[in-house]
Structure 1
């Protein structure tokens, strides 16, 4: 986001954190290693009719899943798309309905996403865990109810993606409880391929702003109702 979408960085050599601010100063993304709080937080100020919203991700949330949301946030074309159903990518990937409409659960039973509404509470939350015990939690995410639907959909689309996640083979890079559930395939990669992967991603994201943004679809006129 810093290089591809011109978000400004605020480094502090005395504090182990990263703070990025959007060009319009409306959004702030923080990465702050803290054992007692989520490591990733994104806060957005009110904008027009859109109320303030925030999201947070635990330390072990795969960066590819976080990128699903941040890519949608910085993509000028996504905002023009029709209304989104954040559950749809999960349903298409075979996620299972819970009892009493209590969200969707992945086919292997490890991940769960739910839109929780009760009284004045409105939020989305997701978690991946190998058991209900606190030690079984791998990561969790929280998205406030005012988070734009297309951003939540970007998150759920990345979460439903079945492509393998490339990781360093060092066992310390992956949580122990996650390693017990993972299917691992070892492949050989050229050093140059890894070196230029980030540069290609930055270039691809930056090129989005050069593409013409499609005009939003005009609202469909309501069909006349039959009356007696």
Structure 2
């Protein structure tokens, strides 16, 4: 019997237990929160003992099932184990270690790990229930209706153009497209990346903030898990420095009721100083202070009163 995996919640506990700084913020919608420069959250849901993990000297991290039929990889650097990796996160399913993938999923750099975690949690549930270890699971092209049901419930707009289906978020910053394999002349034309999500920092941006792709044979319930996380309105916490600069308009303080940081004292005016002197009662005479100065001059010794001469 394989050894139980170390508690995958350990890294999350360590991260959650760190001291919160004044720079911690909430980001809503969560798909604009950025990657957080850490892949831990995507691996936390993998609790079943059937998973095995490893890392390399480049900082890449891999989790596989015992027979390597399922592999989840975090590859921030060039990887000898996955030399053809196309994105930061890679998920692959195959019949055995040396067979080509039957389906794949990929998520680019700024994908929030919480969204990847929704897919890995669904994979862990499949492994726990034994659903993944059969041929239909690895070669199935489910009907995508369950994905659209999730997004319709979240008030996304669904449009259909022939076989091309697109769901767009209410703020027009997120889009999920589906282009199934096509048939021409009785021959099926495969479309490897049937599902594609594009997230924009501003509407109609020409460059995507991040993207995700799913092969046409990816079980639809995994794509539905991704869509559920994508449409989740709950904000995500981040350190401000981790949030892409173009998304800073979507930030708000982590603790809205916390006292504001003290501001620098305003430069006192002569009237301010006069009121302060009056409040203290009779005192030695001081000369006036220019408005642009924040310091008072040393008090002058009181002189006998004299009758002022005519003003010039």
Shared fold, TM over 0.5 = yes
Distance in 2, matches of 1:55 and 1:157, equals 16
* Residue 110 of structure 1, aligned match among 173, 184, 192: 173
Aligned to 2:243: 174
Residue 218 (structure 2) pairs with residue 147 (structure 1): yes
Structure of larger gyration radius: 2
Residue 252 (structure 2) pairs with residue 184 (structure 1): yes
Please tell me whether the aligned partners of residues 16 and 32 of structure 1 are also in contact (alpha carbons under 8 angstroms): yes
Deviation at 1:94, TM superposition (A): 0.3
Distance in 1, matches of 2:159 and 2:107, equals 23
Residue 87 (structure 2) pairs with residue 19 (structure 1): no
Deviation at 1:27, TM superposition (A): 0.8
Offset from partner CA, 1:21-55 (integer Å, 9 cap, x none): 113421111111159941000111038xxx81100
Aligned to 1:156: 227
Deviation at 1:187, TM superposition (A): 2.0
Aligned to 1:71: 121
Structure 2 counterparts to residues 15-94 of structure 1, below 5 A: 15-34=58-77, 37-46=86-95, 52-75=102-125, 76=128, 79=131, 85-94=146-155
Deviation at 1:5, TM superposition (A): 2.2
Deviation at 1:77, TM superposition (A): 5.0
SS at match of 1:74: helix
Please tell me whether the aligned partners of residues 78 and 150 of structure 1 are also in contact (alpha carbons under 8 angstroms): no
SS at match of 2:72: strand
Deviation at 1:99, TM superposition (A): 5.3
Distance in 2, matches of 1:187 and 1:38, equals 34
Structure 1: gaps spanning 5 or more residues: 189-228
RMSD: 2.8
SS at match of 1:98: strand
Please tell me whether the aligned partners of residues 107 and 211 of structure 2 are also in contact (alpha carbons under 8 angstroms): yes
Moved over 3 A (4+): 34-37, 76-80
Deviation at 1:79, TM superposition (A): 4.9
Change (3 A) 1:34 1:88: farther
Taking structure 1 as the reference length, what is the TM-score of the superposition?
0.69
Deviation at 1:98, TM superposition (A): 2.8
SS at match of 2:226: helix
SS at match of 1:108: coil
| Number of equivalenced pairs | 178
Aligned to 1:203: none
